[in-house]
Amino acid sequence: MMPSARPLQTHIPEHDRAPGLWSSRNLLPVRRRQTGADGTRKLLLELVDGQSVETVIMTMPRSHTLCLSSQVGCPVGCTFCRTGGSGFVRNLTADELLAQIVTAGEELRAATGRWPERAVFMGMGEPLLNFAALRGCLETLTLASGPHLSWRKILVSTVGIPDRLDELGRLRLALPAVSLHASTQDLRDRLMPGARAWPLRELIPALLRYPLPGRERMTVEYILIRDANDTDLHARRLHELLGDMRAKINLIPCNPVPGGPHRAPDRERTEGFATALKALGRTAFVRRSHGPDIMAACGQLRARHLADGTGTDSSQETSP
């Protein structure tokens, strides 16, 4: 197991910290900080071996949400994702996951006087491929004494690994969000080559049997890519694929990767896709992008950091 990350001195006095979860962990050094015009904050955090991960603090109308990384890099290799293009380095440990959360929580506390109310594992990496560490982290997040996060306010974004989804459902430590992005196996293989091991014929039944509480719906994430998966025909096929699933569909216009082949559809086509799904009786939303002016999409800040030739440098950049 990796040794604990080095603590970072913080300007928040010990007596001003909340008990329980927020007071008991080391902090990670912040190599870079950026703040967007919409209040989004992005941190590049240093791990004990000199590797780095990204964490984003998103300001919502009624809450603050932490977007968290589970791996350094990612083995899935989605063609629309900057992290996927950087390859896989290693998993984070449970201690590193918690240190990431508390470091971001301290940053938010210093800026706003509030602790985060929600957490989403939607940053770098595939969380369910780091399941042991994720489970340990989630148990601390949801079961810690004092202020902690409700499991209903934690979302785990995954390409969909059926047996791990089954286990996550049994544990009731978080809710899933499945990164679908395609309505046919052939298209999904092209867009998400690393997800071939978990075909749609196995994934969809796993989502249908997932034990959702109350009136909760399965969150389906669908990145809209111009001329690839954005027509009304694709919307109809997505509707047919989901069948009887209670689902809310988050439509995410593609955030182009520099040098990559994909672009977002225009606003009219994006809204048209959502309208087509709603006409079929589906619940669909176009997700607002957070921090576009600070490269808040997954992997972009780390990629720039590595391109700068500072990938093992311990220097910090604190300006927005």
Residues that are catalytic: 54, 298
Q: Where are the alpha helices (DSSP H) in the chain?
A: 82-85, 94-112, 131-143, 162-171, 185-191, 200-208, 232-242, 267-279, 300-307
- Is 286 in contact with 251 (CB distance < 8 Å)? yes
Q: Where are the alpha helices (DSSP H) in 144-231?
A: 162-171, 185-191, 200-208
**How many helices and strands (H and E) does the chain possess?**
9, 12
3-class secondary structure, 154: strand
3-class secondary structure, 52: strand
- Is 27 in contact with 10 (CB distance < 8 Å)? yes
Q: Looking at residue 184, what DSSP letter applies? A: S
Residue type (1 letter), 206: A
Residue type (1 letter), 197: A
Burial class of 257 by CB neighbour count within 10 A (0 to 12, 13 to 18, 19+): buried
- H/E element holding 283? strand 283-286
Q: Which of 85, 48, 87, 83 is nearest to 68 (CA)?
A: 83
3-class secondary structure, 207: helix
